Structure 1
Amino acid sequence: MSRLPDLEALAIFAKVAETQSFSGAADQLALSKATVSKAVARLEQQLKTTLLHRTSRRFALTDAGRSLAARAGLMLAEAEGAVSEALDMSVTPRGLVRLAAPMSFGMAYVAPALPQFLATHPDVSIDLHLSDEVIDLVGGGFDCALRIAALEDSSLTARRLRPVNRMLVASPAYLAQRGRPTHPDDLNRHACLCYAYMPTPDVWRFSNAAGEEVAVRPRGPLRANNSDALTASLCAGLGLFPQPDFIAWKDIADGRLETVMTDWRLPPIALHLVAPSSGPRPARVTALMDYLARTFSGPLWPGDTVGR
């Protein structure tokens, strides 16, 4: 049977190569410099090759040393990740979680839901970032995000929480003055408000149960980068807009808005919980993601039938 690799020596050598110093590796690993030196010498003896040249003024890896350092570094990172994951699974969630969410949904539903989570997990803190822009989770250092969209394939892990229904709405006064559209082509004769972050803001695509598909180019007096910002203008009778159900439900229930063209639908979208897929997930992130999934998979407003 072949000997097992000297994993300790490989890990120590990876730190030596990373820090370009025996002393630096010893400090990071909380070992003596002699222990670090002996581990590298033991590895060289086992491999029967020189891994580095060192003088009082110069430190240089040999070709064999550079090749081994790359592999040993990956091994060390994987081992540290495995240990971290195991520790996180066995301890109380603690630390900072950076969460991104759409502005309107975040203000109406996410922010009010967080106090209960924070009361249950007093060692966790949350940095909540609200924006309708698609945030680069990895580049922005976010742990997870809520997104309302038809998600494209990506390197992120995604959990679908609930459908989001977009309803074409207008005020009773607008409909009394301009008439009630019954077909997407009718919108060419109407004022349409626009949301800048729709997948195709300059083209609205509708379909019906019969499989018909119609595209229209909306024109109107107002364009905004937040759907909620259009509500006042909708209620004031400035035009029509396909408002998400989680925003429009209250104005519809109170009679300020009415739905039209109910047999036509825009492409389906949904609320998703997304997170970077690489590396172990800390317990604090898992706890928050599980809480958000439970909270937003059920009814959120009076008359909401999702999850029932």
Structure 2
Amino acid sequence: MLLDNLNLFLRIVEKGGLAAAGREVGLSPASVSERLAALEKYYGVTLLTRTTRAISLTDEGRLLVEGARRLLAEAEELESRVRLGSETIAGHIRLSAPEDLGRRCILPIVDAFLAEHPAVTIDLNLTDGYVDLVGQGMDFAVRHGLLADSTLRAKSLGENRRIVCAAPSYLAAAGTPAHPDDLSRHDCIVMRFGQNIDRDWTFLVGGKPHRVRVRGRRVANDGGLVRQWCKDGLGIALKSIRDVEQDLASGALVELLGTYSAGTTALQIVYPHSAVQPRRVRLLIETIAAAFSAPAMKPHRVEELHT
């Protein structure tokens, strides 16, 4: 019963409320409240503070979230080994990845993993926004950028070069920028990250950072849509090389301003700081890391197309 109540407690945290957690597991709000009260009585502490609009974790509640995830992972791992044998990979995995990278790179890996391990189920959350791994119950996430949350661990997938690119049809109509400053006169397609719009693009000019303020009529919070607009000839985009390497290889997009570095970002897998990860989670992380260690396709730059 303790494990069941711990699992319900995690559902409450992940869903952001008792009623939502109850709907998820088929319990009434009154039953969920009773079981939460039983858990708090068992530990002798208050785990959640509740208002009419929201819940928040107490310090003891945050401690229990981490411990409960570890304990439930160990229990599930033990049950899987006993019931299915030590060689069988089974169970549920929840992961998150950026929209474009997720569709183009992570999804094929996940599909192959599911085909190889039929007892595994996957919940894949594709978003370019921030994901609270602990609060949303994610096993891990693939993320751009450096790790800022000290409560998480990270496994590097290597550096991820950023490039400026456009479709040949756009360049034929609007011309080709020869210097980063030329971008201010072009129609650029811009990403939104939450409330922040990425209008300041930074390059290395003469060995020093050089920031250019771009403009454009299209802003989106979906990297896949930005890439599609770019392929449709609707503007110039700043993208990860891994998002567009196939388009560069096919000629659907060409790299611009290749002599002016647009910088790199770290690409990594991040996961909660826990002593225990189920084998299925460890194996999928290792599978993704191995796939990303393969050499990337050589991109085509606009200069190469003119020679």
TM-score class normalised by the smaller sequence: 0.5 to 0.7
Tell me, yes or no, if structure 1 residue 204 matches structure 2 residue 201. yes
Separation in structure 2 between the aligned mates of residue 224 and residue 154 of structure 1, nearest angstrom: 30
| Residues in 2 aligned to 1:284 and 1:242: alpha-carbon distance in whole angstroms | 35
Measure how far apart 1:83 and its partner are.
6.5
Q: How much does 1:150 deviate?
A: 3.7
User: What is the one-letter code of the residue matched to 1:268?
Assistant: T
Give the deviation of 1:206 after TM superposition.
Answer: 1.5
1:195 counterpart letter in structure 2? M
Task: Please tell me whether the aligned partners of residues 145 and 273 of structure 1 are also in contact (alpha carbons under 8 angstroms).
Answer: yes
Instruction: Output one character per residue of 1:71-113: Cα deviation in whole Å (capped at 9) or x when no partner.
Output: xx99xx6996897598489644322111111121221222222
Of 189-198 and 269-278, more deviation after overlay is shown by 189-198
1:139 corresponds, among 135, 139, 142, to 135
- Establish whether residue 267 from structure 1 lines up as the match of residue 246 from structure 2: no
Point out the structure with max Rg over C-alpha: 1
Q: Contact 1:100/1:130 (CA < 8 Å) preserved in 2?
A: yes
Q: Which has the higher strand share?
A: 2
Whole-angstrom distance in 2 between the partners of 1:66 and 1:232 = 55
8 Å Cα contact 1:158/1:275 also seen in 2: yes
**Unpaired segments of 5 or more residues in structure 1?**
1-14, 19-60
Q: CA–CA distance in 2 between the matches of 1:80 and 1:147?
A: 26
1:125 is aligned to 121
2:148 to 152, 161, 164: 152
Matches within 5 A, 1:1-308: 84=75, 87=78, 91=86, 92-197=88-193, 201-208=198-205, 210-299=206-295, 302-303=297-298
Deviation, 1:269, is: 1.0
Q: Distance in 1 between matches of 2:77 and 2:167?
A: 56
Q: Deviations along 1:49-71, whole A, 9 cap, x unmatched? A: xxxxxxxxxxxx9xxx979xx9x
Deviation, structure 1 residue 142: 0.5
Q: What is the TM-score normalised by the length of structure 2?
A: 0.65
* Cα 1:88/1:181, change in 2 over 3 Å: farther
SS of equivalent to 1:298: coil
Q: In structure 2, what is the Cα distance between the partners aligned to 1:163 and 1:98?
A: 24
1:125–1:84 CA distance, 2 compared to 1 (3 A) = same
Superposed CA offset, 1:118-148 (max 9, x none): 2333332211111111211000001111112
CA spacing shift, 1:279–1:205, aligned 2, 3 Å? same
Unaligned runs of 5+ in 2: 6-40, 46-59, 300-307
Letter in 2 for 1:183: H
Q: CA deviation at 1:249?
A: 2.4
Deviation at 1:223, TM superposition (A): 0.7
Q: 1:88 to 1:167 in 2, by over 3 A?
A: farther
CA shift for structure 1 position 158: 0.6
**What is the identity percentage for the equivalent residue pairs of Structure 1 and Structure 2?**
35
User: Cα 1:289–1:134, aligned 2, differ >3 Å: closer, same or farther?
Assistant: same
Note closer, same or farther for the CA distance 1:152–1:89 as it changes in structure 2 (3 Å cut): farther
Letter in 1 for 2:249: A
The 2-side partners of 1:66 and 1:151 are apart by 35
Aligned equivalents of 1:239, 1:249: Cα separation in 2: 18
TM-score of the two chains, using structure 1 as the length reference: 0.65
| Letter of the structure 2 residue corresponding to residue 121 of structure 1 | H
Kindly state the Cα deviation for residue 246 of structure 1 after the two structures are TM-superposed: 2.4
Cα pair 2:162 2:263 within 8 Å, conserved: no
The one-letter amino acid of 1:266's match is A
Kindly tell me the number of residue pairs found equivalent between the two proteins: 235
Amino acid at match of 1:135: V
Aligned mates of 2:124, 2:155 — CA distance in 1: 19
Cα separation, partners in 2 of 1:155 and 1:214, compared to 1, 3 Å? same
Moved over 3 A (4+): 77-93
Aligned residues: CA RMSD: 3.4
Distance 2:77 2:90 in 1: 15
